[in-house]
A and B are shown apart, each in its own frame.
Chain A
């Protein structure tokens, strides 16, 4: 899917940039409190170098989308994004002097899936860093493919300091790896790194790829910042699914969709068996689902977008863990599942598990009615995968 803007938007962009020029040093927009002046907005024109205001505004839009994810709410979201100044402060004056522990006062970073932040490096270049807590890996995405051994060192020091401060003990980073994304798209100009960094952050956080050439990515970003929200995907927005099942599945590889369905029907099986009195069988199947849940939370392989998406230029191939058993193979097949979808799954699987526990302890009717509502959710998601509702009750 290429991000080509509509003809009507071309005209709109023209007037937006005219507004921005007129505003100059005055504020053009606030993206969830992050201000962007007219001059900063104009940096989104071709060949403009993006500044912190553009990058931070865009991050604010991505954050707003994270909050909408189904699991956000009572439990903390699994993705957290810090702004452009975080790394700057980390390098100097350092964790303690810059009181960086206050920057993550609302999250426990060690319970996150990913902590993402842009890095302004050498005073002229934007790259993206991602601390993949779940996989114990520090990742760098650089559209110029430079070497960043110092960055890894600084981030490791951050992890040590944060762990000591928040947990009161040392963290062993021995099994953590440093990883540079070798297949990250390379910028074709000397101006577009900020655009790539913004797109990368969006992709790491939401799984939605911002593809196309750099100039059309700029147009898209400009429209989104002007509108104060990320563009929704029209096809999904038009579907009749309930909001809780709104999932963008267009980029989920067919193979992943298949194993997703297999997983969901297995979950469904648990319920059917339970209701049919085959409790032992249900328990057996339930064991597998909880294994899967753990796998999804911890060891699920990364989206490895394959060659089927050759049209896009922003589809880095991420490493996948190797399959060692049948169960792992099933988990591996989930690779490529949209991060939003993973959030759905996690919620679904944990609700299944808790129902099972509840039902085991006391066979009561409330547990059963919960089970029925969870089954409804499972069906809705399977329906979303196929575009219809395949399971008849």
Chain B
């Protein structure tokens, strides 16, 4: 488990010196307020895992966040290769929206 996290959850700065590896990819997770977190993940890492790692990092309930790629919600089982993600691509993280009308 600890090993897994080492592989999935590195800061970009730490990674910049690492040698390029074709089986991994750097992605940027960006909030609407512009906060960015960088991850280096394997191309076959499931989005559910990335989302879990992100939620843990920022201290949010994983249920209340959504990952979008080019405006489309990412499925839990999708991976960078299934999505044809490129190195340096951005994932938008959004928080749950709830509405009824008025309080």
Interface on A for B, CB 8 Å cutoff? 25, 27, 30, 33-35, 37, 39, 43, 48-53, 55-56, 82-86, 88-89, 92-93, 97-100, 102-103, 105, 120-121, 123-126, 143-144, 187, 189-194
Contact = CB atoms under 8 A, between A and B. Distances in A.
Nearest to B74: A33
Given A25-B63, A33-B72, A51-B96, A88 B101 contact: no
Nearest to A121: B99
Contact of A27 (B76, B92, B100, B103): B76
26 contacts: A27-B76, A49-B98, A50-B99, A51-B96, A52-B97, A55-B97, A84-B97, A86-B71, A88-B97, A92-B33, A93-B34, A98-B92, A99-B90, A102-B70, A102-B71, A124-B100, A124-B101, A126-B99, A144-B101, A189-B100, A190-B101, A191-B100, A191-B101, A193-B99, A193-B100, A194-B100
Contacts of B94: 52, 85, 88
B73 A124 contact: no
A121 B72 CA distance: 20
A52 B63 CA distance: 12
Contacts of B96: 51-53
B59 to A, nearest CB: 17
A144 B103 CA distance: 12
B70 to A, nearest CB: 4
Contacts, number: 99
Main secondary structure of the interface of B (DSSP, over half): loop
B97 A192 contact: no
B68 interface: yes
A123 B66 CA distance: 17
A25 to B, nearest CB: 5
Interface in B50-72: 63, 66, 68, 70-72
B17 interface: no
Given A33-B73, A33-B75, A103-B71, A85 B101 contact: no
Nearest to A143: B101
Top-10 shortest CB links A-B: A103-B71, A49-B100, A191-B100, A120-B97, A193-B101, A126-B99, A52-B97, A102-B70, A51-B98, A190-B101
Contacts of A84: 97
A55 B97 CA distance: 10
B66 A190 contact: no
A193 B102 CA distance: 9
